[in-house]
A and B are shown apart, each in its own frame.
Chain A
Amino acid sequence: AQSVTQLDSQVPVFEEAPVELRCNYSSSVSVYLFWYVQYPNQGLQLLLKYLSGSTLVKGINGFEAEFNKSQTSFHLRKPSVHISDTAEYFCAVSDLRGSQGNLIFGKGTKLSVKP
């Protein structure tokens, strides 16, 4: 079975500062990795995903994430955040062998960008 741990439930940061949101996963099989963002009172939308190839993945809104297999991590980064990045961010994994495409989500990290 897979599990996802997002160590930080809340991350406050000032505008234009860099940010890293941490994600670690546990799985006995290979997985695909995803980051989703949820703005207040909305559904989730995909930021980026890692399937194969380069371990550095670039997504929308200037975010990027790096897959580290040895550390089973997939941390999300942005070099300079904006007020509009205030949202909740979810890391998720899916089993390569699963045909249903079911995702296992972490509990989320609330990013709060202050002026």
Chain B
Amino acid sequence: SQTIHQWPATLVQPVGSPLSLECTVEGTSNPNLYWYRQAAGRGLQLLFYSVGIGQISSEVPQNLSASRPQDRQFILSSKKLLLSDSGFYLCAWSRGGPAETQYFGPGTRLLVL
């Protein structure tokens, strides 16, 4: 069966510090991978998606970036965090295509102070 992991589970970082969140998927190959941010009252905002190694598409311009160095690894980064980067970050995977279910990880709660 497939599983998706995210770490860390929680993170408190000062403004201006760097960020690295990691997501890995097991039990499948060549998945589509997604990063979402969930802020209170705003639902889920798609930040990045990837259909393959090294292929990253950005949905929202911001100070975040994403990378996919391996088939089942997806990393969300920032060089300098802003207060507005606080939120709950969710990684998801799917088999690709509009009818496919997205399977979500447990999330990382980020608080920028």
Contact = CB atoms under 8 A, between A and B. Distances in A.
Contacts of A43: 4, 90, 92, 104-107
Nearest to A51: B99
A42 B107 contact: yes
Interface stretch (A12-20, A61-69, A74-82, A100-108): A100-108
Interface residues of B, number: 29
B19 to A, nearest CB: 19
Contact of B32 (A32, A45, A51, A101): A101
A44 B88 CA distance: 12
A45 to B, nearest CB: 7
B101 interface: yes
Contact of B41 (A9, A46, A51): A9
Size category, A interface: 20 to 34
A32 B104 contact: no
Nearest to A108: B43
Contacts of B104: 36, 43-45
A44 B97 contact: no
A107 B96 contact: no
Interface in A81-115: 90, 94-103, 105-108
Nearest to B32: A101
B102 interface: yes
B20 interface: no
Interface of A: 9, 31-32, 34, 36, 41-46, 49, 51, 90, 94-103, 105-108
15 contacts: A41-B107, A42-B107, A43-B106, A46-B101, A90-B43, A94-B98, A95-B98, A98-B98, A99-B97, A101-B32, A101-B95, A102-B49, A103-B102, A105-B44, A107-B41
